[in-house]
Amino acid sequence: MRTVPLGTTGLQVPNVVLGVMRVADKTDEEIREWWAAARDAGVTFLDHADVYGGSMHRCEERFTEAVQLSPSERDAVTVQTKCGIVPEGPYFDFSYERITESVEGSLRALGTDRIDVLLLHRPDALVEPDEVARAFDELQSSGKVLHFGVSNHTPGQVELLQRSVRQPLVANQLQLSITHAPLVAQGVASNMQALDQSVARDTGTLDYCRLKDITVQAWSPFQAGFFSGVFLDDDRYPELNAVLDRLAAQYDVPKLAVATAWITRHPAQMQVVLGTTSPERVRAVAQGSDLPLTRAEWYELFRAAGYTVP
């Protein structure tokens, strides 16, 4: 399993992350089998959120009930969680009270004394950066949260937070797959009149994160679009799947590994966040962690997904 830097923390972490978002209805044995497959593959980074599981902190609770990490096992794992979504609205809340209450709930649900990384989960249009800064300062000084980041934030939103927040924001969790790639597609075809791909939809987020040493965590790495189903073996993407099949045979790996490698091959040293609860799929994705796609293969997949390479 290849490792990448986690922002400016000095930590090296796996470039594959286990998203703990679908375990609420799994048995203890199913969760343990899934976790064992991840650990055997070298995945030691867990991504939680307070809203995962149908009720607040439910997936955090279910993972802890099933796995019960020993102190040494806990020290060997990076635990990340997210806060800020109010599901009954739905709306977003980055107030001091909401952030600190969420962290207390996550600490109880996870059965731990600290969260390694806390992300703000989607932008709050009503954010008051000084409120966020007060929460972060209190959580860091008490040792309850070690590092902080964001999810789905633009460069301007990050800059606004950093005007008040003293801690570096070390990660930005963003949607990215071969077929959902506005993070990279616009830059490839910049300044091409009348080409939809050249329209800037993400305000240079990927380049900004690289410049600021913010680790990009790619969520929904196999989704065709915004929750529109996976592109693997989908009739909507015959050319892409033909290329994936050929490269999978060439490298003797599953197609999932090739789709993963398209993201991990990028020099931004991104992490891939998995939402699967299938041990088999976890093992397949892990094989793509350091698969050495060539430049030509990377661009071939990009073109086959429907993007323009001028």
> Which residues carry out catalysis?
52
| Contact call for residues 106 and 60 (beta carbons, < 8 A) | yes
Cα(272)–Cα(270) distance, integer angstroms: 7
Amino acid at 246: R
Q: How many CB atoms lie within 10 A of CB 10?
A: 7
CA 100/CA 95 separation, integer angstroms: 9
265 neighbors 289 (Cβ within 8 angstroms): no
**b/e 131-156 (16+ beta carbons within 10 angstroms → b):** bbbbbbeebbeeebbbbbbbbbbbbe
Cβ neighbour number for residue 27 with a 10 Å cutoff? 11
